[in-house]
Chain A
Amino acid sequence: MKNKKVRSEDLEKQDFEKSSLVLDAWKRLKRNKLALIGMIILAVFALTAIFAPILAPYDPIKIHWGDEAEPPFWMKDSSQETATTNQETTTEQETTMEQEATNKSTSDEASTEDDNSGWSTGSEEASENESSTESSGDEGGWSTGTTGLESEEESSEWGNSDVDELTKSSKTSEGTDNFYLFGTDQMGRDLLSRLIFGARLTLLVGFVSVSISLIIGTTLGLLSGYFGGIVDTVIMRFMDILLSFPYILLAIFIVSILGRGLTNAMIAIGIVGTPRFARVVRSQVLSVKESEYVMASRTLGAGDSWLITRHILVNSLSPLIVQTTMSLASAILYSAALGFLGLGAQAPTPEWGVMLSDARSALLTAPWIIVFPGIAIILCVLGFNLLGDGLRDSLDPRQKR
């Protein structure tokens, strides 16, 4: 907000120059392709978060009985098309993994419904099915001839709802004609909807916790750098000690003290992130404090609060913006980690870390449940990191060409 103000003011006043610090920075940022990619990723996530209720096809915590651990649509389709889409979207290894898992889960359910009950595990199933076309070696079988196997399997299992209705118990009859883009998790909740609502939570956690660090850290850094002496020593020693403890462990301790939950996780991550801000602001204050214009202002009778708000804080803005962007990335990682450890957001909440933790038990049978939330986290964090890198390059005048 401050930027915009500065920018418009500058535009009005210095019309002849058509350039200001912020405008320059923006121009440089626009030339940076990676930063642009980061911004696009973040914009997509932000829009997803804002319009989550419209975009999400299902209620993220509604359990669709009978649709537990349904694979994504491209893994369900029969025929050779499946294999090609698969190889395009995921790496080959992942593909075979997922297909294997599909087969496994299929066989689990298959054994209860039709006469395939003789199959006990996925590997046996594969070798039996493929014995006509492929060698019966375990791994060899997996990586190659899965297509034919899938087509047979899937048509009997996923495509044919009549069979389901006839043989399965009543709870299965309603769910099967739903379409799940990314499949469902092992509880039968739509994965895509959970991911979409997860974007909301993730961005919320990021912004709230970084705001906490930003406010406390900036205040402490200002006090410490501006007043120096004993204030500086006490604050910065304390920050050093906070820093000299592994982040995640400190966050775990704080959450343990406050109690589990999303709010407390945000507070914990906020506290843990504080020292970085304090350091950035302090070093900036120390260099600005001694500059001529601050001294001039002081001799003209400016008070502490004027100097801090009008000169020092404004000059700390660019490193603060960079630090904020970078901190958003790590805050998201840490909140997901806390969720994963069961200390952050709690079970039915569609938080990405919690989803990963829930999916642990399904690692072998339904890997897509664990793959997608991870990709979502990586993309979101990557967006902030790319933007942060770009901002650092464009806001740092030393890099000016």
Chain B
Amino acid sequence: MFRYVLKRLLMLIPVLLIMSFLIFGMIDLIPGDPAQMMLGTHVTEETLEEAREEMGLNDPFLVRYGRFLNDTVHLDLGQSLMSKRPVWNMLGEKLPATIELSVFAMIFALLVGLTAGSIAAWKQNTIFDYFFSMIALIGISMPVYWLGFMLILLFAVTLNILPTAGRIAAEMDLSALTTNFVLFESLLTGQWDLFISSIKHMILPAIALGTIPMAIIARMTRSSLLEVLKQDYMRTARAKGLKFKDIFIHAIKNAAIPIITVFGMQFGRFMGGAVLTETVFAWPGMGKWILDGIYKRDFPVVIGGALTIAFLFVFVNLLTDLTYTLLDPRIKY
């Protein structure tokens, strides 16, 4: 097991290298002159040329990539062209916001998806099954941002019980917090007013972001449970007269592998969905940050953000693979 983990970790290195090359290359291809972006339009050609020289923009592609790689390994992601702040520091602000959002979206997706999928499978071809299957189908057919707007219309505007945008009420004082995990930290340190405000802001974006994964998990749970329930050992379990709870645990454990795979694959969807969800809810996270970076041609921000997401993605895939062994002792590495 340890050897396997080590091997997988070593294999990450070439993958990440290729990814960094692709990301750097792709963003390099985006038209736009960073020097111009940084200095604005009211500068002379000489000043621009000087700035380009200074930023090393005139060097060949591979030289620039090499320098970027060297900096990245030393945890220096450069400086935002717009705000002039180090990308690394901005990342420390944006990433926690997206992680908190993703965690809550995941909790929502898992709780609702597993429950709905299990009920649908257990009561196959009943009204429950049709209802949950239909909900799941509509869920995977829904544009995330549209759902976001509908949630805002319903809960924020009509019922007026939840806020429309942002992470926390504007008048809240965040100076007492050391990290940007507003919700987690306020919960752990017991700052209840902060916690209540941030959890209120969390609900709608988390539902919007979690709905598609919820629907996918529900569908996967249903089909994979149905598969397991047909097996002989399930019939045996029933024949033995096991209690419903025991049978169910028996079944769900055997159905878990495809569900976990699907769940792991949802990570990319969370990051992609975050771009849209964060745009709708003005959530100050990675997705909106990268998107703004693209609009403003702030290349260091885009590269830093994209690289972080790719890194996380690869890492989550590894974790997903490793959970298989924990769940199914038949799988050995």
Contact = CB atoms under 8 A, between A and B. Distances in A.
Interface of A: 93-94, 96-97, 100, 138-139, 142, 237, 241, 244-249, 252-254, 256-257, 259, 329, 333, 336-337, 340-341, 353, 356, 360, 363-364, 367, 370-371, 373-374, 377-378, 381-382, 385-386, 389
B141 A244 contact: no
B277 to A, nearest CB: 11
11 contacts: A139-B158, A139-B159, A246-B275, A246-B313, A336-B143, A353-B143, A356-B149, A363-B152, A363-B153, A378-B141, A381-B142
Contact of B275 (A252, A259, A336): A252
A275 to B, nearest CB: 12
Nearest to B287: A249
Residue among B15, B19, B141, B291 with the highest chain A CB neighbour number at 10 A: B141
A247 B30 contact: no
A337 B277 CA distance: 11
A353 B279 CA distance: 14
Given A97-B154, A356-B143, A363-B153, A244 B314 contact: yes
Interface string B21-64: 01000110111000000000000000000000000000000000
B206 interface: no
A249 B141 contact: no
Interface of B: 15, 18-19, 22, 26-27, 29-31, 137-138, 140-146, 149-150, 152-154, 157-160, 268-269, 271-273, 275-276, 279, 290-291, 294, 306, 309-310, 313-314, 317
Given A97-B153, A97-B158, A253-B306, A241 B271 contact: no
A363 B309 contact: no
A367 B153 contact: yes
A386 B19 CA distance: 35
B15 A247 contact: no
Nearest to B297: A256
A363 B269 CA distance: 26
B146 A356 contact: yes
Contacts of A94: 153-154
B275 A248 contact: yes
A182 B74 CA distance: 58
B276 A377 contact: no
A139 B160 contact: yes
A172 to B, nearest CB: 28
Contacts of B150: 371, 374
Contacts of A370: 146, 149
A374 B146 contact: yes
B173 to A, nearest CB: 29
Contacts of B154: 93-94, 97
A7 B294 CA distance: 50
B158 A241 contact: no
B152 A249 contact: no
A333 to B, nearest CB: 6
A374 B153 contact: no
B153 to A, nearest CB: 5
A340 B278 CA distance: 13
A22 B137 CA distance: 26
Nearest to B279: A341
Contacts of B153: 93-94, 97, 363, 367
Contacts of B273: 248
Contacts of A253: 26-27, 30, 294, 306
Nearest to B316: A244
Contacts of B140: 385
B264 to A, nearest CB: 11
Most buried by A among B19, B143, B145, B271: B143
